[in-house]
């Protein structure tokens, strides 16, 4: 007798996986979409921040240059400085908008496919909020990550927190 299998449904993902998308870099063509449709949290002069469509945790943000570049050495000083400010503002927005506030953060930049970059041709930082105990048996035993918040709700909270940010005049944390 075969043991019963529990299903985890995430039907909203089929729209992304099967949806019509232009050819080319998804981080480039995504910029032309509306902020809410593309889950873009904020846009700057040289960079923008958006929710990762396949998040490790709720609030998983990517920060990237608007320019299509795949190498860290290609960043201009302006792009580099603005990306750093966007990462700082994203952390503040996550602390304010996520219930209980994250207990920590992972910030990563995978350069090239050998380093784990999912889109190696367009440089992007990953910012993942973390909570004590946020890992459990699901990723370990079932190779499944349960994300307990809808993307639309996460975007709404972060978008509002970003708009309320004072551009970092309070450098002591929140």
What distance in Å separates the CA atoms of residue 169 and residue 43, rounded to the nearest whole number?
A: 19
Residue 60 known to be catalytic: no
User: What's the angle, vertex CA 109, arms to CA 103 and CA 110, rounded to 5?
Assistant: 125
What distance in Å separates the CA atoms of residue 63 and residue 95, rounded to the nearest whole number?
A: 17
- Do 57 and 128 touch, CB atoms closer than 8 A? yes
Among residues 60, 68, 103, 124, the one annotated as catalytic is: 124
What distance in Å separates the CA atoms of residue 96 and residue 19, rounded to the nearest whole number?
A: 33
Query: What residues act catalytically?
Result: 124
């Amino acid at each position: 007798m075969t043991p019963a299998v529990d299903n985890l449904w995430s039907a909203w993902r089929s729209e992304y996986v099967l949806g019509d998308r232009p050819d080319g870099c998804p981080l480039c063509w995504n910029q032309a979409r509306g902020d809410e449709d593309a889950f873009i949290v904020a846009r700057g002069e040289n960079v923008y921040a958006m929710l990762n469509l396949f998040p490790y945790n709720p609030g998983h943000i990517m920060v990237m240059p608007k320019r299509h570049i795949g190498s860290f050495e290609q960043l201009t000083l302006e792009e580099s400085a603005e990306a750093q400010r966007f990462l700082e503002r994203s952390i503040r927005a996550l602390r304010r908008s996520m219930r209980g506030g994250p207990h920590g953060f992972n910030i990563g930049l995978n350069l090239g496919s050998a380093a784990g970059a999912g889109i190696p041709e367009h440089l992007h930082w990953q910012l993942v909020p973390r909570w004590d105990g946020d890992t459990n048996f699901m990723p370990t035993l079932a190779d499944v990550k349960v994300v307990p918040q809808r993307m639309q709700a996460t975007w709404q909270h972060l978008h509002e927190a970003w708009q309320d940010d004072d551009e970092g005049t309070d450098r002591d944390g929140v």
